[in-house]
Amino acid sequence: MDKNGPIGIIDSGVGGITVLKRLLEILPEEDYIYFGDTLRVPYGNRPKEEIEKFTREIVNYLKKQKVKAVVIACNTICSSINKNDYEILMFGILEAGIKSAVEATSNGRIGVIATKRTVESEAYLKGIKRLNRNAMVFQKACPELVLIVENGFYEASSIYTAVKKCTEEFLGKDIDTLVLGCTHFPILLPFIERVVDNKVTVVDPAIKLAHEVKKYLVENNLVKDKKGGQLRFLVTGEKENFIKVAGTFLNDKHIDVLRIAIEELK
C-alpha cells in the first residue's frame, strides 16, 4: 500500500464533510477524495441490499483512484455492510459513535438520532449494550433533518422546529447523552444544542473516528510523508447545494467539486 495515496471518504451525500472536517483538523497533510452520492441520497429509507450494492460500486471506484484507506463516514452504510468484505483498509463511524456514547454517559441513559435504516438495524442499540449491558438506549429516526441539510438549509425557525420535533422524543427519558448517529446532524449542532437540556452531552462520532484513523496510520507507518494535502470532492448529483453546504461548513468558499455519472461506477 502506498502511504502517499489519498484517503477516500464515503457518504450518501454532503453529511460526511462533518467527518472530513475532523480529519483535516488532525491530519491536514493527507490527500482526501470525498465521495458524496448526492444523486441517490437519502440512503436512510433504502433497503440494506441496495445500500450494500451502492457502497460496493463506490469502494471499487475509489480503489481505482488508488486510495490507501476508506473512511465510511455514513452511519447508514455502516449499519448495512460488513467492512471485512471489502479487501481494503476501512474505518467506520458507527464503532466510533458507540464507544463515544459509552464513554460519555454517566447514568447509562443514551438517546440516538439517526436514519430509519440505522435505527431499524439496531446497530447502535446492540453495540452500546455490548459495551455496557445495563445501558438504556432510546432511538429516533429523523429523516427530515437529512433533507434539510441536503437541500442547503431553510430559514432558522423551520430548522429549529424540525429539530425540536425530532428531539422531543427524549423529554422525560432522563438521557444524559445524545448521539448524532447521522453525519448530517452535526451541521445542525447549534440548533440541537439549543433544544436539548444542557445536562445532555451531545456526541459527534466524527471526533473519535478521526482520532482512530490518525492513531492507526501513525502506528502502522502509513502517514503521508509528502507535504501539502489535496482535497477532491466527487458527487453524483447536482453540485450547487453541495458547494453551498460544504463550503459553509468547511469555511472554504472555493471548493472544487466534480460531478461523475452513476454509469462510471458500474
Does the active-site annotation cover 166?
A: no
Smallest separation (angstroms) from ligand DGL to the CB of 42: 3
Cβ-contact 179, 110 below 8 angstroms = yes
- Judged by beta carbon, residue 4 or residue 52, the one nearer ligand DGL is 52
Closest to 141 (Cα-Cα) out of 169, 101, 160, 161: 169
Interacting residue with ligand DGL among 22, 184, 208, 224 (CB under 6 A): 184
Binding-residue pattern over the window 190 to 209 for ligand DGL, x denoting contact by CB under 6 A: --------------------
Q: Does 118 bind ligand DGL (CB under 6 A)?
A: yes
- Judged by beta carbon, residue 182 or residue 207, the one nearer ligand DGL is 182
- Judged by beta carbon, residue 80 or residue 201, the one nearer ligand DGL is 80
Q: How many residues are recorded in the chain?
A: 266
Pick the catalytic residue: 78, 142, 166, 182?
182
Cβ-contact 66, 33 below 8 angstroms = no
Interacting residue with ligand DGL among 146, 159, 188, 217 (CB under 6 A): 146
Q: Does 115 bind ligand DGL (CB under 6 A)?
A: yes
Site size with ligand DGL, rule: CB under 6 A: 17
- Assigned C-alpha cell, 198: 444542557
Residue bearing cell 446497530: 123
d(CA 258, CA 48): 27
38 SS3 class: coil
- What angle, rounded to 10 degrees, do the helices at 240-250 and 17-26 form? 40
Residue bearing cell 507507518: 221
For ligand DGL, the nearest residue by Cβ is 44
Q: Does 167 bind ligand DGL (CB under 6 A)?
A: no
Binding-residue pattern over the window 23 to 52 for ligand DGL, x denoting contact by CB under 6 A: ------------------xxxx--------
Closest to 226 (Cα-Cα) out of 31, 26, 32: 31
d(CA 14, CA 148): 11
* H/E element, 157: helix 156-167
Rule CB under 6 A: which of 61-100 touch ligand DGL? 74-76
Q: Does 18 bind ligand DGL (CB under 6 A)?
A: no
Residues of this chain that interact with ligand DGL (CB under 6 A) are 11-13, 15, 41-44, 74-76, 115, 118, 146, 182-184
For the annotated catalytic residues, the residue numbers are 74, 182
